Structure 1
């Protein structure tokens, strides 16, 4: 770990602070009329999601943490734990399913995900931004509905409800943007 000064903190910087790992979400540099300049930093705890606002002066030193990104293949889920396999060493690692949050239904068997590690501890899992899903329920197309830009509800094979254009029907494969949790395009 490297020590950096308080004014070197940028959005996305991960630091060790108050005995925890924190990611900087927002940073604003303030130069008051009286007194020294400082960085007002909004931090998010990587382990429990708490948020914190801190001021760091340029004289303050903080520990910058580098996380290791590993591309791993998803194998299966057991008791709320996701099992991933390292493609190079074939070692298996268990990760808490809560790390994926709302994107959990889009994790598919055999999918390659990027797992961020701090030592041996997995802190986050990132799945591909675009995922192919099959529509299992959708309302039929009504005449004249395609004249304006409208959307209708649909249910995907993983049980997630999304809004899709009227021309999408049952058994069609579509691409979902997992960052926005919405329809992107036809597959």
Structure 2
């Protein structure tokens, strides 16, 4: 058991039969009343997120999550298919559970999948990925990095705000936690 005050982003716990991952957690002391923990939580089985508050002394059962290196293969019938790099065993995860992560996944990309006992509950992405610009407005002559930016659609369908000098076909490094442009990739 773990107290709510000790929960941090990335921790996973069980509550009311649900497997929940902490996306954000902050300590909040209102002007009147007791201190509370404000949290943004994600149900790993359904993929839904919710913002809630918990008492700091409230106890929850910490869930142990294991990871395994896999290769992303393809999507078939609303299931994303991954293959274990050692045993070649295949795992299927509902697309609805990993919708956010699919914005950063390319065919044959190596990632980690997360297990709770024998149940596959999610995908761990690297901190950044390199994606190719599939569609954007033409670049503006003389544009600099400090310009206002423009939207660019990446090869996975992710839309990112990029500097004005970026063109179709450019390879960009994208931050997977924020979903934003970092730099041109080499």
Give the Å deviation of 1:103. 3.5
Give the SS at the match of 2:82. strand
TM-score (normalizing by structure 2):
0.76
Query: Which residue of the other structure, out of 109, 112, 117, is the alignment partner of 1:111?
Result: 109
> In structure 2, what is the equivalent of residue 171 of structure 1?
169
Give the SS at the match of 1:135. strand
Give the Å deviation of 1:105. 3.2
TM-score (normalizing by structure 1):
0.76
> In structure 2, what is the equivalent of residue 34 of structure 1?
none
How far apart in 2 are the matches of 1:66 and 1:53?
A: 23
How far apart in 2 are the matches of 1:40 and 1:105?
A: 30
Residue 130 to residue 28, structure 1, CA distance change in 2 (3 Å): closer
How far apart in 1 are the matches of 2:145 and 2:35?
A: 55
Give the Å deviation of 1:92. 0.8
Higher helix share: 1
Which has the larger Rg?
1
Give the Å deviation of 1:138. 3.1
How far apart in 2 are the matches of 1:105 and 1:129?
A: 13
Residue 47 to residue 136, structure 1, CA distance change in 2 (3 Å): closer
Whether the 8 Å CA contact 1:176–1:182 is kept in 2: the answer is yes
CA RMSD, 1 decimal: 3.0
Extract unaligned runs of 5+ from structure 1.
31-36
Alignment of 1:44-59 (within 5 A): 44=41, 45-48=43-46, 49=48, 51=50, 52-55=52-55, 57=57
Paired residues in the alignment total 178
> In structure 2, what is the equivalent of residue 33 of structure 1?
none
Give the Å deviation of 1:80. 1.0
Whether the 8 Å CA contact 2:65–2:115 is kept in 1: the answer is yes
